[in-house]
Amino acid sequence: MSSSISRRALLAGAAATALATTTKPAWAAPLATADGFAGVNSLGQNGTTGGAGGPVVTVRDADAFLDYCDRNEPYVIQVDGVMRISSKQGVRSNKTIIGLGSTAEISGGGLDLYRRQNVIIRNLRFTGADDDAISIQQSSHHVWIDHCDLSGGADGLIDIVRGADYITVSWNHFHDHSKTALLGHSDSNAGQDTGKLRVTFHHNFFDGTAQRHPRVRFGEPVHVYNNYFRNNTLYGVASTENAGVLVEANYFENVPHPIYSGYDESGPGRVVERGNVYVRSGTPETLGTVVEPRTYYAYTPDSAASLPGIVPAGAGVGRI
């Protein structure tokens, strides 16, 4: 075989590993619409649509999966089975990566969005990443992470850093891990992060994870609403370095420190709490005022008291 034949050329027509289709399976159609900050029209992007309008392909091995993630064109990439990768692998703009059924998985490594936009990641299990499971960085924007199951990585499960913006993290199940979600990587990065890191967390199940649900530097507003926090040993939410975080209509159960203003060596952040339920949990810390998320988008929270029922039943894979 000629050495001039590219890896992409080898993979492009590989029906055994990537089956191109023109229609979505019934359970995935129509593709849902991103809400929260990922649904906001800004930075030249009308919400987050991912690979809508591009070809729909199904991948069954890691080589085919990474090949489609690395293409410049829009794609809806349906993941069938376990993709075993290592390190953080790049995903280009205008992609929807969506698992089929309840067994699609990214194992051993993670996904890296570096100066990308308009990416949807849904219905995937992430396990055993050797770095971050999902990294969103360097001014990437309009990203929606929805109905995933994340656990057991070497570092963060989700890192949103270095000027990333307009992101929604919804209906995910986080478990068997310590450092869950970080917004802003360093106390010294105010110049890049101030006025950015606008992120919505809603209807996530933080199930026994220790900390960072999320831990925030500089971003405003960060909207944390309708999440179920259970048995989080270090803390729930931490607002630091003058971040502005609204913690609204969540359910905290067995969380000794549900909300911090300031943490470790980071200075205090502004944080407003309202409508939360605290069961066998400590007293939340609050400070100052925060820009209202309704400045950007409309939403209607569920009753906080209902969350122990609806969030575990709806969060994670196999439920879209």
Just list the catalytic residues. 212
DSSP summary character for residue 103: T
| 266 bridge partner residues | 263
CA distance 319 to 266: 38
CA distance 108 to 133: 9
CB–CB of 123/104 below 8 Å?
Answer: yes
CA distances from 265 to 57, 135, 139, 188, 217 (A): 46, 23, 25, 12, 12
CA distance 312 to 206: 10
From the number of C-beta atoms within 10 Å of its C-beta (0-12, 13-18, 19+), residue 208 rates as middle
Q: Which residues, other chains included, contact 138 with Cβ-Cβ below 8 Å and sequence gap of 6+?
A: 114, 115, 162, 163, 164
Nearest to 198 by CA among 94, 290, 315: 290
